[in-house]
Structure 1
Amino acid sequence: MMGVMTYRVCVVCMGNICRSPMAEVVLRKTLEDRGLGDRVTVESAGTGGWHAGDPMDERALRILAQHGYDGSVHRARQFTRDWFDRYDLVLAMDRDNVATLRRLTSEEVEVELFRSFDPAAPEGAEVPDPYYGGLEGFEEVLALVEAAAEGVAKHIADEIG
């Protein structure tokens, strides 16, 4: 595929151990299923660095595995200012993360809410943080992420032609 550029996506939440890595895994699979896996890379990061190097939350891993996804290789990372140049699309899980990302740079950057790509979601809809709850919160996150992933994949397909 000489000459074909890779489209790069980063999904961002707070600590990069629950929501964003779940979205990364789901979006990657969705893109692969659409035949775009070789043209798009999907990564994730957190706005905070306190979990850097840690694996995905065990509850997130468990829910993903129950639904046929594998998140076992994930290691948390922190999004930094210079990363904006690395990505074509930055997707945040909630408005707080959008605001934090925009504060990282003086430049006008485009950061979208992940759920804005779900046509059934209300405007401004967020993916809630399941960290302080039980497994049901992780199930909810997976359902919300899966619902939006198709819209994200369609957006990317339109962008890359």
Structure 2
Amino acid sequence: MSKVKVLFVCLGNICRSPLAEGIFRQRVIEQGLSDHFDMDSCGTAAYHIGKGPDTRSMANAEKNGVIYDHSARQFDVQDFYDFDIILPMDDSNFEDVISLRPPDAKAKVMKMRHFDPVDRESDVPDPYYGGEKGFQEVFEILDRSIDGLLEELIINNVTFLSAM
């Protein structure tokens, strides 16, 4: 079986999507599944290309036991061919991604919180202009959403990707 390639997407690729990538990577490693998944993150905007993650987001992740490193990049149409599943953090990013989707796109696009057992309809809020409480809320949302995503990928033997 080839690796399942997962892409997390937010606006600037410095808060939510690199955190989601970091949590997902950690879970994959912890479960001994590194041979089965590749992951990356990006932003729909070009604000922070080449920059590292927001220091507040990284500090919050470290406080919660997740260490990650990332260099921001912008979403590209090629991502539809390079990834199996693309997970935007909110409606705005979802619409931005879908608007670029070519007719023969390979990747499935679903909002990140589709996998949140608490609330499958809401956005992952952007904590950029908020304080520590906002970053912690985002961490908790992503933490349980990543667990839901990974569980679904494992339980369904990744077959849900081809069924969508």
Q: Return the TM-score normalized by structure 2.
A: 0.89
Find the aligned partners of 2:131 and 2:157 in 1 and give their Cα distance: 37
2:90 aligns with 94
Structure 1 window deviating more from structure 2 (25-34 vs 80-89): it is: 25-34
CA RMSD in angstroms comes to: 1.5
Indicate yes or no: 2:135 matched with 1:127.
no
Q: Return the TM-score normalized by structure 1.
A: 0.91
* 1:2-151 pair list within 5 angstroms: 4-71=1-68, 73-107=69-103, 110-121=108-119, 123-151=120-148
Question: Which consecutive segments of 4 or more residues in structure 1 shift more than 3 A?
Answer: none
Q: Identical aligned pairs, as a percentage?
A: 35
Number of residue pairs aligned between Structure 1 and Structure 2 = 156
| Contact kept? 2:84, 2:108, Cα under 8 Å | no
Structure 2 unpaired stretches of 5+:
160-164
Structure 2 residue identity aligned to 1:61:
M
Structure 1 unpaired stretches of 5+:
none
